[in-house]
Amino acid sequence: MSGVPYVGLLEGRDAAKVIAETPVRLGMILDGSSSAEIEARPAPGKWNVREIVAHLADCEIAWGWRLRQVYGEDHVTIQPFEQDAWAKVYDAYSFELAWTTFKALRAWNVAFVGAITEADKKKGYTHPERGGDETLWTLVEIMAGHDLHHLAGLKRK
């Protein structure tokens, strides 16, 4: 699916399995990190670990809404969001709150994805910035690819 962000990162992996495994994989990367490591910026203007985890929690809210909107409506146009605008308040979130929120919301969304049928996966939507038709399963693939993107970035730190 050219033009759809992150999907190419899956390289044939099962998107549902990737999203289910992400909290465990992320936990292994973060385990034993000190407060200083969590707050350190890899470069000027780049997010630290706490902010990345807050971003993942924010995205999980967006993914959850989008999944349910596409599931519950006929060919809806989903709402894009501006991650940098949302990031302006990340100082309000502790690492612990961001991590707990991400894990809880991800578990909720994994259960949802596990309950949808093959017919549900084909339900279509339009993304206003990309145009064209995408499916509910496209959303799951984007989630999974987004996870892989951030997991790879955190491993390099």
Q: What's the rounded Cα separation, in Å, for the pair 63 and 57?
A: 10
Helix H or strand E encompassing 124: strand 124-126
Gyration radius from the chain CA atoms: 16
Whether 5 is covered by a domain: the verdict is no
Whether 8 is covered by a domain: the verdict is no
pLDDT at 49: 97
Average pLDDT, the chain: 94
Q: What three-state secondary structure class fits 75?
A: coil
Whether 9 is covered by a domain: the verdict is no
Q: What's the rounded Cα separation, in Å, for the pair 157 and 139?
A: 28
pTM of the model: 0.93
Whether 6 is covered by a domain: the verdict is no
**Which amino acid type is present at position 73?**
E
pLDDT in tens, 25-49: 999 999 999 999 999 999 999 999 9
pLDDT at 1: 45
pLDDT at 129: 87
CATH number of the domain encompassing residue 117: 1.20.120.450
pLDDT at 4: 84
pLDDT in tens, 50-87: 999 999 999 999 999 999 999 999 999 998 889 999 99
Dihedral sign of CA atoms 95, 23, 27, 51 in order:
negative
- Helices 15-30 and 95-115: crossing angle in degrees, nearest 10, is 160
Whether 99 is covered by a domain: the verdict is yes
Buried/exposed code over 123-141 (b: 16+ C-beta within 10 A; e: otherwise)? bebebeeeeeebbbbbbbb
The total of structural domains in the chain comes to 1
Whether 2 is covered by a domain: the verdict is no
Q: Specify whether the CB–CB gap between 145 and 9 falls below 8 A.
A: yes
Residue 99, domain extent:
14-156
pLDDT at 147 over 90: yes
Whether 143 is covered by a domain: the verdict is yes
Q: Specify whether the CB–CB gap between 119 and 108 falls below 8 A.
A: no
pLDDT at 157: 59
pLDDT in tens, 89-120: 999 999 999 999 999 999 999 999 999 999 99
Whether 3 is covered by a domain: the verdict is no
